[in-house]
Amino acid sequence: MVIKWTGKVSTALINTTPHQIWPLFKDFFNIHKYFPTLSNSYGVHGINGEVGCIRLCLGSSIPSTESRDTKINSGEVVSWCKERLIAVDEVNMSLSYEIVDSNIGFNSYVSTVRINQSGDDQKDEGCMIEWNFSVDPVEGLRFEDLMEKYEVGLQRMVKAMEDSLGK
Residues with a known catalytic role: 83, 97
Three-state SS at 95: strand
Closest by CA to 160, choosing from 40, 38, 35, is: 35
Cβ atoms 54, 74 nearer than 8 A: no
Tell me the angle at which helices 18-26 and 143-164 cross, rounded to the nearest 10 degrees. Answer: 110
Q: Reduce the DSSP state of residue 145 to 3 states and report it.
A: helix
Strand 94-102, strand 5-13: pairing: unpaired
